[in-house]
């Protein structure tokens, strides 16, 4: 099974502010839906709470340390290993890790693909994507988009694949 990360980051590596994504990019939301549709999405509790519900057309796996946590329509696990095993047991071919910051730190060393939206702005963030060696990754796809009435900042979509999983 392929482990992929789906993330939007600003120029400083920021991914969130006060539990929310700090930008509005209509094209990024469409891309997120297309990437995740029909797949298992792995997320932390805080990311689940920022979304507020299980998203239709996908299986949400929520990681939490709280043994009593409940999320209607979601599968609950207590480790990344458990989340990945569950997705694979359920026939997933590409599990998509969607955040947040702590979950990305755990998953980045295992990731083979990175679906990255680079937001060309410095937004005031309080959660950041972990630093990684860009030389370990190859750009497979790249598509640039200007700011417009539905996208408040210019941005670039990237599909990156790891050159060598042993190097993280």
Is 168 among the domain residues?
no
Is 167 among the domain residues?
no
Is 85 among the domain residues?
yes
Is 99 among the domain residues?
yes
Q: What is the DSSP string of 105-154?
A: HHHGGG-SEEEEEEESS----SEEPPP--GGGEEEEEEEEE--BTTBSS-
Q: What is the mean pLDDT of residues 144-159?
A: 98
Residue 18 scores a pLDDT above 90: yes
Please, which residues have CB within 8 angstroms of residue 65's CB and are 6 or more apart in sequence?
78
Q: 131: burial class by Cβ within 10 Å (0-12, 13-18, 19+)?
A: exposed
Q: What is the mean pLDDT of residues 27-38?
A: 98
Is 152 among the domain residues?
yes
**Position 164 confidence tier, pLDDT thresholds 50, 70, 90:** confident
Question: 96-110: per-residue pLDDT in tens?
Answer: 999 999 999 999 999
Give the range of the structural domain holding residue 79, as residue numbers without chain letter.
Answer: 2-162
Q: Does residue 25 contact residue 146 with C-beta atoms inside 8 Å?
A: no
Q: How far apart are CA 159 and CA 168, in angstroms?
A: 17
Domain containing residue 157: CATH number: 3.40.430.10
Is 43 among the domain residues?
yes
% of residues, the chain, pLDDT over 90: 96
Residue 160 scores a pLDDT above 80: yes
Q: What is the mean pLDDT of residues 28-57?
A: 97
Domain count, the chain: 1
């Amino acid at each position: 099974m392929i482990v992929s990360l789906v993330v939007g980051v600003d120029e400083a590596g920021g991914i969130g502010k006060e539990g929310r994504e700090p930008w509005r990019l209509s094209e990024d939301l469409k891309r997120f839906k297309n990437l995740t549709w029909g797949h298992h999405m792995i997320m932390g509790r805080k990311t689940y709470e920022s979304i507020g519900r299980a998203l239709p057309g996908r299986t949400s796996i929520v990681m939490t340390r709280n043994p009593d946590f409940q999320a209607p329509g979601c599968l609950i696990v207590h480790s990344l290993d458990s989340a990945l095993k569950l997705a694979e047991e359920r026939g997933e071919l590409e599990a998509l890790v969607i955040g947040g910051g702590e979950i990305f730190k755990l998953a980045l060393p295992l990731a083979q693909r990175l679906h990255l939206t680079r937001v060309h702005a410095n937004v005031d963030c309080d959660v950041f994507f972990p630093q990684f060696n860009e030389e370990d990754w190859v750009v497979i796809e790249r598509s640039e988009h200007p700011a417009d009435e539905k996208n408040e900042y210019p941005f670039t979509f990237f599909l990156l694949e790891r050159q060598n999983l042993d190097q993280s």
